[in-house]
Structure 1
Amino acid sequence: MLRFGIEEEFMLVDPRRLVPIARGRDILDRLAARQDLAPQLRGEFLAAQIEYATTVHSEIGAACWELAAFRTALRDAAGDLSVAPLSAGTPFDVAEPATIVPTDRYLRIAAEFGEMLVEHQVNGLHVHVEVIDPDARVRALNGVREWLPFLLAITGDSPYWHGRDTGFESWRNVILRRMPTAGCPPEFADAADYRRRTELLVDMGAVLDPGSIAWAARLSERYPTVEVRVFDAQLSLDDTLTAAALTRAVVDASVRSPARHGAPAELVDAALWEAGRRGAAARLPDPRSGTLRPVWTLAETLVEWLRPSLEAAGDLEVVIEGLERIRRDGTGAARQRERYGSAGVAGLRELCAESCDGPLRRAPAPAAIDEVAVLVSSPFPPAARRGSVAS
């Protein structure tokens, strides 16, 4: 089975107003003493933000335990500083322009952003899936791109901005669309084609480097992985794990049976807008038939196509239960709206706290209790540099 890693971004917010507070460095300092967590922690572009990148996993159960442990530690550290960690695509409100971490690279990016920097306050969930062969990695990216609208539709988790309901399931998706390489990635012929075309983007100055490419899915610059970035950060760890299991299966199935003809970029891009706007109520293109289908009909088609990959990885039950739960309880955006409608900002505050409230009810146990410790010393091998795909 393919190995994977998960990156979750968290924003630190004022517990009362739910606006970002630039305390990321303070949280990192508090958690630095935790030898089990510190190597996976990093600061982010925003001073109010931190990111946790899991170790490399083969089993969803092991990733679940690692992320649950981190969320609990983050909750405790944030409580000591009287701030709240938010795992959602956007904060409920913003009080001022974003404060960035003043590294050389981030300052260069900020200079390019211009006025866009004022509102670039977003959290994402990124899933890396390892595919060693460079050309196979590109085939996987080509296959993933057509399922990006569905993946966004079931994981929208950013309905609020400036304290108002935007009418969108994923306002983060709208904010990111202003980037020069946002949305649907192109289809590529092979690894050499990917390298040539992304290098042109860098040479043009449209992006700072391959790591700045903002497509909803891309090839990692650092590791031999397909990196799917379409997801809002998820309030629910259950939803994070569902997204990760689906992503791994789509990558695996795309490597095994690549599509002959990819969907046009304009169709996928328009479907991404629809998914961000309407979420699970959208009608989206079915990559298998080319027809428009409701999201939950598309879910049935996707699970059947992915069944061999899901069964091989032991993830079929995780995905079926996860999709049924989202269909029953709603996406993160729907749950935010429900809680705000019944209890206002206080309801959102409770929902935010619940996202870091200990392990999951159905947390699957790792196959071996020491798997996480072993994986800490077993990272993805670095992607080859010039001569193969490295972005």
Structure 2
Amino acid sequence: MLSTRASDVPFGIEEEFMFLSPDRLLPVPAADAAHSVLLRDPEVGPYVGPEFLASQIEYSSPILATREQAFEALTGFRGRLGRVAESIGLVAAGTGLPFDSDDIPAPTPSPRYERIRADIRAVAHDHQMNALHVHVNVPSRDAGVHALNGIRAWMPVLLALGSNSPFWHGRDTGFASWRALLARRWATTGCAPHFRDAAEYDAHTARLVELGASVDLACIAWDARLSERFPTLEVRAFDAQLDAESAITLALLTRALVVTSLNAEPSAGAPVDVLDAELWLAARDGLHGRLVNPVSGEPDAATEVVLALVRYVRPALHALGDAEFVEAAIAQRLRGGTGADRQRAALLEGGIGALAELLRRAPTPAERPTL
């Protein structure tokens, strides 16, 4: 049995944000100016960097052990980012896609990004995506593959929980995560295959790069994968989140799932085509559809699958000290909806102005789960 003390299971959170105009919520290539300001701040400078587009910025947290550390890191950065955006008259949005876009996005100058753009060609025009990535420490790459096999069946419900991109080109797509649909245009997306061990994983991913299906190992875009930079299992299914609380809830839930999978018996491996279909349905319906319940193996309401996931990881949540917080936060999400639901409600209630306000503001204290 692996240790489940929080201090023994470090994790990290990567958040991507996009600078948008407040009137139409269009991408604005302001990341370089904002980056130069944030770099001078010793609290966040070491953890902020550019992204694929000149309208994007990424925050990669320090190594975290507890939710208190996560709150301090993410709320601290978001507060600073919001003030920088306000000073230049823009909205720094945590959303899977911009509400509107009427041009080919301005790129971030970078030799690697240039190689990627040349590789994916016109796919780059719609690659205006912002995601939340969660890294969870694993004791070895073989252990990481064991955990990766174990979490595969839960990836659709994680996508449903983290859905936050209902709009594209100023229209409602009918999907909870249109970002997830656009991402399917890449050669390596969706659910990772089932692997015997790290050697098979490494040979398989190297072959994908050799074939030209990915520019490099770091560009393999499965919803969960082994990190090539850190000793972590990286879960990438989530859209960028509206607020820090949502991002941290998903990160803590992910950590508990990885810990549970590390300690579980080897997974038999659900078929890739079934999981891929479920990911499509999760992107379309969010928490309002049906998914396969990995516990029963039968289709069930997505909300029931969420509850099944919480029950499945509850021992790890308790051991990590996160059970009360995560269960309260998930209950609130089931009542109040995902980011996609909140974005639709804001637009319906007050138009683009209300949606812009939702994207720029932090939640009020009454909306925050108790630490």
Matched, 1:149 2:156: yes
What's the counterpart of residue 38 of structure 2?
Answer: 31
- Distance of 1:300 and 1:259 partners within structure 2: 23
Q: CA deviation at 1:145?
A: 1.5
- Distance of 1:304 and 1:358 partners within structure 2: 27
Q: CA deviation at 1:300?
A: 2.1
Structure 1 residue runs without a partner (length 5+): 365-391
Letter in 2 for 1:342: E
- Distance of 1:257 and 1:355 partners within structure 2: 38
- Distance of 1:141 and 1:241 partners within structure 2: 20
Alignment counterpart, residue 268 of structure 1, candidates 260, 267, 275: 275
Q: What SS class does the counterpart of residue 313 from structure 2 fall into?
A: helix
Compared with structure 1, are the counterparts of its residues 363 and 112 closer, same or farther at alpha carbon in structure 2 (3 Å cutoff)?
farther
Compared with structure 1, are the counterparts of its residues 108 and 303 closer, same or farther at alpha carbon in structure 2 (3 Å cutoff)?
same
Alignment counterpart, residue 352 of structure 2, candidates 345, 350, 356: 345
Matched, 1:281 2:305: no
Letter in 2 for 1:141: L
What's the counterpart of residue 214 of structure 2?
Answer: 207
Matched, 1:103 2:138: no
Q: What SS class does the counterpart of residue 252 from structure 1 fall into?
A: helix
Matched, 1:126 2:129: no
Letter in 2 for 1:103: S
- Distance of 2:67 and 2:127 partners within structure 1: 31
In the comparison of the two structures, how many residue pairs are matched? 364
What's the counterpart of residue 305 of structure 1?
Answer: 312
- Distance of 2:58 and 2:111 partners within structure 1: 19
Matched, 1:17 2:24: yes
Q: CA deviation at 1:285?
A: 1.1
Contact 1:125 1:234 in 2 (8 A): yes
Compared with structure 1, are the counterparts of its residues 359 and 206 closer, same or farther at alpha carbon in structure 2 (3 Å cutoff)?
farther
What's the counterpart of residue 389 of structure 1?
Answer: none
- Distance of 2:366 and 2:17 partners within structure 1: 17
Contact 1:211 1:221 in 2 (8 A): yes
Contact 1:184 1:265 in 2 (8 A): yes
- Distance of 2:280 and 2:253 partners within structure 1: 21
Letter in 2 for 1:9: E
Q: CA deviation at 1:236?
A: 2.3
Compared with structure 1, are the counterparts of its residues 156 and 331 closer, same or farther at alpha carbon in structure 2 (3 Å cutoff)?
same
Contact 1:143 1:259 in 2 (8 A): yes
Matched, 1:238 2:240: no
Segments ≥4 residues shifted beyond 6 Å: 356-360
What's the counterpart of residue 68 of structure 2?
Answer: 61
Deviations 1:186-213 (A, max 9, x none): 1111000000000000111110110000
Contact 1:93 1:161 in 2 (8 A): yes
Compared with structure 1, are the counterparts of its residues 306 and 162 closer, same or farther at alpha carbon in structure 2 (3 Å cutoff)?
same
Matched, 1:50 2:57: yes
Contact 1:220 1:226 in 2 (8 A): yes
Q: CA deviation at 1:134?
A: 1.5
Report the RMSD for the aligned CA atoms in angstroms. Answer: 1.4
Deviations 1:92-148 (A, max 9, x none): 001211111121100000001111111110100000000021211111111121111
TM-score by length of 1: 0.91
Matched, 1:189 2:196: yes
What's the counterpart of residue 78 of structure 1?
Answer: 85
- Distance of 1:297 and 1:317 partners within structure 2: 19
Alignment counterpart, residue 167 of structure 1, candidates 142, 164, 174: 174
Q: CA deviation at 1:174?
A: 0.4
TM-score by length of 2: 0.95
Q: CA deviation at 1:84?
A: 1.1
Contact 2:325 2:369 in 1 (8 A): no
Deviations 1:275-317 (A, max 9, x none): 0000101211122221111112112221221111000111111
Q: What SS class does the counterpart of residue 281 from structure 2 fall into?
A: helix
Compared with structure 1, are the counterparts of its residues 349 and 215 closer, same or farther at alpha carbon in structure 2 (3 Å cutoff)?
same
Q: CA deviation at 1:358?
A: 9.3
Contact 2:162 2:241 in 1 (8 A): yes
Deviations 1:49-107 (A, max 9, x none): 00001111110121011100110000111111111101010010012111111211000
Structure 2 residue runs without a partner (length 5+): none
